[in-house]
Amino acid sequence: MKKRYWSIILVFTVLYGCGDQYYTKADFQSALKIDSHVHIRSDDGTFEDIAASDNFILISPNVDHGDSADLRIQQAFASASARKYPSRVFFEPSFWFDTAGYGKPGWSENIIEQLGKDLAEPGAVGVKIWKNIGMVLRDRNGKFIMVDDPALDQVISYIKGRNLPVTGHLGEPLNCWMPLGEMNIRSNRNYYEQHPEYHMYLHPEYPSYNDQIVARDNFVARHPDMVFIGCHLGSIEWNVDSLASRLDRFPNMAVDISARIAHLQFQSMENRERVRNFCIKYQDRLLYGTDVGYSGSNNPDAFKKRMHEQWLDDWNYLVSDEEMTSTRFDGNFTGLKLPKKVVDKIYFTNAVKWYKLPV
């Protein structure tokens, strides 16, 4: 859709949809929203269709799993979707990490050359750095490569020079360093049970949780003019006060809540007002996202139903004060019932601002 179309919708929402201070569950489909963290790996239009139906724009970051062929497939799907659905789908190419060439002359130039090609595609709005930096990749001496390594500076300078944000999934939730039985979120437990290579409790010789966070903080401090969007509540999902200290320290840092809303809900059981006050205080720094991926399905209608239900459940938590439960942990919690202006920022305005979306 054209930029003018979305502008008209947004103006209509502001002028005629703000009679009350709060949204309700019934307002879900009429509000224009952005899911700032999804993964599109199909060309069948299923994800895009349900997004249009539920009034979502999508941002699909690519992920460097260490397989360059897979990364090119991701790029092809994401960029094709952005071309097919202009102003409704955007994407981020990955900071492709050439391990074989690391430390050799021309390493940064090769990455920059590839990024230049990827960013030339319509709909590119940033560059994604993944947790393989800090958790997988090692230099020729066997030392883990951390994100604050000065060797990355030239590529980061290139991204900044393009006036683009860096989106970073760096580190993992604190649960990653705990035994499976002590994790408080089932989705974390299920993930690390299926991916023991990333379950750091099993790998004490790897960098610790604190090592990851310190390296990320050093990275952001090293580039104070870099716009940085920390995925998954910046891997400080376990405590909003600790996350707040980073947002206070780094004015050019925002975070998405993708795949971590359960952690906010879990904290809401103990102290709802603390979580609510955090969201209100940092209303300009939070981006809604889910981290849901779609790679084709034998039953696209079932995917659409699940996606709609997840989006609606998240919306209800943020806009209502209903008593709720989650499949991700045991116990009851109460929705945050955030003011409408805060919800608009989390769901739309912040993604437009931080990613400079042309909508």
Chain segment 245-270, per-residue pLDDT in tens = 999 999 999 999 999 999 999 999 99
- CATH number at 328 reads 3.20.20.140
- Structural domain for 330, as ranges: 3-355
pLDDT, tens digit, 9 for 90 and up, residues 68-101? 889 999 999 999 999 999 999 999 999 988 888 8
User: How much is the pLDDT for 154?
Assistant: 97
Number of domains in the chain: 1
Residue 41, Cβ neighbours under 10 Å: how many?
Answer: 18
Identify the three-state secondary structure at position 331: strand
pLDDT at 298: 81
Tens of pLDDT along the chain (359 residues) come to 445 545 544 544 444 444 469 999 999 999 999 999 999 999 999 999 999 999 999 999 999 988 888 999 999 999 999 999 999 999 999 998 888 889 899 999 999 999 999 999 999 999 999 999 999 999 989 999 999 999 999 999 999 999 999 999 999 999 999 999 999 999 999 999 999 998 999 999 999 999 999 999 999 999 999 999 999 999 999 999 999 999 999 999 999 999 999 999 999 999 999 999 999 999 999 999 999 999 998 899 999 999 999 999 999 999 999 999 999 999 999 999 999 999 999 999 999 999 999 98
Q: Are 132 and 64 in contact (CB under 8 A)?
A: yes
The per-residue pLDDT for 38 is: 98
Give the ranges where the chain is alpha helix by DSSP (H).
3-16, 46-53, 68-84, 107-119, 132-135, 153-161, 186-194, 209-222, 231-234, 240-249, 261-281, 300-319, 340-344, 350-355
pLDDT computed for residue 99 by the predictor = 85
Q: Could you give the CA distance from residue 172 to residue 198 in angstroms, rounded to a whole number? A: 9
Residue 263, Cβ density class (10 Å: 0-12 exposed, 13-18 middle, ≥19 buried): buried
- What is the Cα–Cα distance from 18 to 23, expressed in whole angstroms? 9
